[in-house]
Amino acid sequence: MPIRTRAGALAVLTAAALAAGTALTAPAGAAANKTAAPRFLSASQLPPHPSSTWTAGPVTDGFPAELAYCLGEGVPAYDYRHRKFHTDLDTGAVQVTVVTGSAAKGKALAALLNRKIRTCADRIEQSYPDVEAEGRYYGALPVEEGAKVHGLHTETSYGATDIHLLSVGRDGRTVTVVDWGQMGDFGDAPVAAFKKTTTKAVAKLY
């Protein structure tokens, strides 16, 4: 959900997921060998905002609640870390990273996360009849072991509308997900800039 939005469509869905007790943290399956901790994006590497600046929060342990609307259930148990970003207006972002036990496990996790994002719109509409959702696929990026970029638009029956861009990228056994969101629709999404952000996120891991 947009971190700064009070009544956005995905804000409602995330609140519902949390109220239902959705598992958003992964306590088991600790990642092996943390000697080389993956690095995170800085605020300056987010898509530029036309009238505000980005602020980056600290890197925090756990799976971020901001991704509950698409990835709140069925995410394998690993030691996740995340970083939140916000502007002074209605735009927010979050990056989550996880070091799995092997390149094969990293590949499997990335594939699962991409599948869950691709099916997110259908699952939202099935769970929330008053929400219309549409997903789009914006293609793959040739960085490290690859990254894929998706878009998601939601609108409630009372008019709240949100647009999100999400990406999943992998460098060996390490997987990262980046989410950008604000009020609006597909025409408000900075796809080209987000692809650059995703490329930086994956390349910067190590």
* CA–CA distance, 61 with 140 (Å, rounded to integer): 28
Question: What is the mean predicted confidence (pLDDT) over 42-51?
Answer: 94
Q: Which of 78, 80, 43, 41 is nearest to 60 (CA)?
A: 80
CA–CA separation, 143 vs 194, rounded Å? 14
What local confidence, expressed as pLDDT, does residue 159 receive?
87
CA 60 to CA 142: how far, in whole Å? 28
Q: Which tens digits make up the pLDDT trace of 20-43?
A: 444 444 433 333 444 679 999 999
**Per-residue pLDDT tens digits for 148-172:** 999 999 999 888 999 999 999 999 9
Distance CA 47, CA 198 (A): 10
At 72 the pLDDT is 81
What is residue 22's DSSP assignment?
A: -
Q: What are phi and psi of 23, to 5 degrees?
A: -75, 115
Q: What is the number of alpha carbons within 13 Å of residue 62 lying toward its C-beta?
A: 12
Higher pLDDT, 189 or 24: 189
The whole-number pLDDT of residue 35 equals 60
Which of these, 33, 127, 27, lies nearest to 77 by C-alpha position? Answer: 27
Q: pLDDT tier at 89 (50, 70, 90 boundaries)?
A: confident
The answer to whether the beta carbons of residues 152 and 8 sit under 8 Å apart is no
Question: Which pLDDT value is given to residue 150?
Answer: 98
Average pLDDT over residues 91-113: 97
pLDDT on residue 24: 44
DSSP, collapsed to helix, strand or coil, labels residue 130 as coil
| Segment 55-68, tens digit of pLDDT | 999 999 999 999 98
> pTM here?
0.86
What does pLDDT average to over the chain? 87
Structure confidence at residue 1 as a pLDDT band (50, 70, 90) = very low
Tell me the angle at which helices 103-118 and 120-127 cross, rounded to the nearest 10 degrees: 50
Lowest mean pLDDT among 13-17, 74-78, 91-95, 141-145: 13-17
- Asked whether the CA dihedral 112, 115, 117, 122 is positive or negative, the reply is negative
206 pLDDT higher than 90: yes
42 alpha carbon, distance to own chain's centre: 16
